[in-house]
Amino acid sequence: MIKLANKRVLLGVSGSIAAYKSAELVRLLRQQGAEVRVVMTATATEFVQPLTFQALSGNMVYSAWDDADRGDGMGHIELARWADAIIIAPASADLLARLRQGMANDLLTTLCLASDRMIAVAPAMNRLMWENAATQDNMAVLKQRGIHVLGPGTGGQACGEIGLGRMLEPDQLVQDISALFGSGILSGARLLLTAGPTREPIDAMRFLSNRSSGKMGYALAQAAIEAGADVTLISGPVALTAPARAKRRDVNSANEMYEAVMAEVPTHDIFISAAAVADYRPLEFSKEKVKRKANTIDLALTQNRDIVASVAALPNKPFVVGFAAETSDVERHARGKLQRKGLDMIAANQVGDGQGAEVDDNAMTLYWVEGSHHLEKTTKHKLARQMIAIIGEHYHAAT
Ligand code: PMT
């Protein structure tokens, strides 16, 4: 089975004799279906010629700052956005120390700092350098920040010593990298997702909206792509960049979101409704800006159509996952929505008091008729990967 189909791997190569093994790693990653771009540190180019990686990856190799430049100085950000994962192999002791410090003194460390994607390192160094308290301290901090550590392995080293510190062999690394991406559980599935708030217009200038930033929905879009899905993202107004491979449609109001979802849903297998859709909109819209007159004014509201319930009521409905944003009695309200809206699953989160919306971390409990699964508070990106794994399992069980 091709394990890395559609995956974009940014391979960072730092200064170590093990850099020669990374040439084989590029070949094996591509064999598993990944698209690979290589970024080398200056020291790495002294061990292996960039041309070797260029020939094996089929892409230009980035090393100097301006290699990634597109003329506006933002090329490094584009490169960071391009990747589904950054894998640094070999990761020298120096590179790991710089990563731990959050330094951005070359292209590779800058990319790591500018990325919210999965990062993994495959350390390679002399055994005493590996055992050194400084390196071990660096590794502990990197792990705590969610950076994956692949290896090192044990055995004979280039310096003649024997011990822990060898970079893992390329075939082992490919297996570990595939495992990090998950099982490709949504390979071939077409997933439709809503994210962000809606804006319900009052007049030429004003609207009703809510606190959703879109972070949770966008993280789910990225996680679904990593799991192999084709993703269509219908987004309310947010200040986020969509994952490079998601098809994005921008909408403003709940009505626009409803129309966009209904147009897209027949060609999708899974629908996740992460958007904070306004339940009500102003009954009337004034083209003129409403003038200030009385101390109080009445604003009549009318109910919006329920998008997720409408999708769940379709005769050929996809697998439908709703959300429940609650301030109290989370399970009771979430289970009520699961049943009333006819959903396959609901993701319930506590909102208010700085929880759920706007922030970078969240906790979630997934409910379905016969069960539930609680996911502890973590970054929305990690949470999204865990959610997609569970949604994927239930989707397959239902089809
Ligand atoms: O965007 P972030 O800042 O990262 O914040 C994430 C979040 C808190 C917005 C997200 O985790 C979340 O809870 N999203 C759903 C918010 C919401 O509208 O919940 P609800 O309990 O009011 O709605 C229940 C479900 O019905 C939701 O799936 C909602 O998308 C859907 N709905 C609601 C109203 C409507 N007219 N149509 C709908 O489809």
Residues 136, 49, single domain; the answer is yes
Between CA 259 and CA 210 the distance in angstroms is 20
Q: Which of 162, 180, 198 is the last residue of a domain?
A: 180
**Is the pLDDT at 238 greater than 80, yes or no?**
yes
Ligand 1 binding pocket includes 275 (Cβ within 6 Å): yes
- By most ligand atoms within 8 Å of CB, the mutation choice from 253, 308, 320 for ligand 1 is 308
Residue position matching structure tokens 């993202």: 233
Residues 168, 194, single domain; the answer is no
Residues 319, 374, single domain; the answer is yes
> What is the structure's pLDDT at 181?
81
Residues 107, 21, single domain; the answer is yes
Residues 247, 306, single domain; the answer is yes
Determine the average pLDDT of the residues in 49-59.
97
**Is the pLDDT at 133 greater than 90, yes or no?**
yes
Q: Which amino acid residue places its CA nearest to atom 27 of ligand 1?
A: 323
Residues 60, 88, single domain; the answer is yes
CATH of the domain at 86: 3.40.50.1950
Report how many domains make up the chain.
2
> What is the structure's pLDDT at 339?
98
In percent, the amount of the chain with pLDDT more than 90 equals 82
For 187, counting Cβ atoms within 10 Å of its Cβ (0-12 exposed, 13-18 middle, 19+ buried), the class is middle
Determine the average pLDDT of the residues in 113-130.
94
Task: Tell me the per-residue pLDDT of 154-166, one tens digit each, with 9 for 90 and over.
Answer: 888 787 888 899 9
> What is the structure's pLDDT at 354?
92
Contact 290/208 with Cβ under 8 angstroms?
no
Determine the average pLDDT of the residues in 128-146.
95
Q: Are strands 270-273 and 319-326 parallel, antiparallel or unpaired?
A: parallel
**Is the pLDDT at 1 greater than 70, yes or no?**
no
Name the nearest CA neighbour of 233 among 181, 286, 202, 190.
Answer: 190
> What is the structure's pLDDT at 184?
77
Residues 104, 12, single domain; the answer is yes
Note whether residue 269 is domain-resident: yes
**Is the pLDDT at 228 greater than 90, yes or no?**
no
> What is the structure's pLDDT at 74?
67
Beta pairing partners, 369: none
Between CA 29 and CA 58 the distance in angstroms is 12
Between CA 38 and CA 24 the distance in angstroms is 13
Residues 62, 203, single domain; the answer is no
Q: Which of 126, 145, 180 is the last residue of a domain?
A: 180
Output the CA 273–ligand 1 centroid distance in Å: 7
The b-or-e profile of 248-267 (16+ CB within 10 A means b, else e) is: ebebbbbbbbbebbeebbee
Between CA 202 and CA 97 the distance in angstroms is 54
Note whether residue 3 is domain-resident: no
DSSP-based helix, strand, coil % in the chain, nearest 5? 35, 25, 40
> What is the structure's pLDDT at 112?
96
> What is the structure's pLDDT at 157?
79
Q: What is the mean pLDDT of the chain?
A: 94
274: containing domain: 190-398
**Is the pLDDT at 70 greater than 70, yes or no?**
no
- Name every residue whose Cβ is closer than 8 Å to that of residue 147 and which is 6 or more positions away in sequence: 99, 119, 120, 121
CATH of the domain at 214: 3.40.50.10300
Q: Which of 127, 158, 180 is the last residue of a domain?
A: 180
Residues 210, 130, single domain; the answer is no
Determine the average pLDDT of the residues in 95-117.
95
> What is the structure's pLDDT at 245?
82
Residues 194, 281, single domain; the answer is yes
Atom of ligand 1 nearest to the CA of 213: 3
Residues 194, 339, single domain; the answer is yes
Note whether residue 2 is domain-resident: no
**Is the pLDDT at 325 greater than 90, yes or no?**
yes
The three-point CA angle 292-295-301 to 5° equals 75
Residues 50, 196, single domain; the answer is no
Determine whether 112 is an active site residue.
Answer: no
Atom of ligand 1 nearest to the CA of 380: 4
Catalytic site residue from 2, 158, 159, 162: 159
Task: Tell me the per-residue pLDDT of 262-314, one tens digit each, with 9 for 90 and over.
Answer: 999 999 999 999 999 999 999 999 999 999 988 999 999 999 999 999 999 99
**Is the pLDDT at 179 greater than 70, yes or no?**
yes
Contact 285/206 with Cβ under 8 angstroms?
no
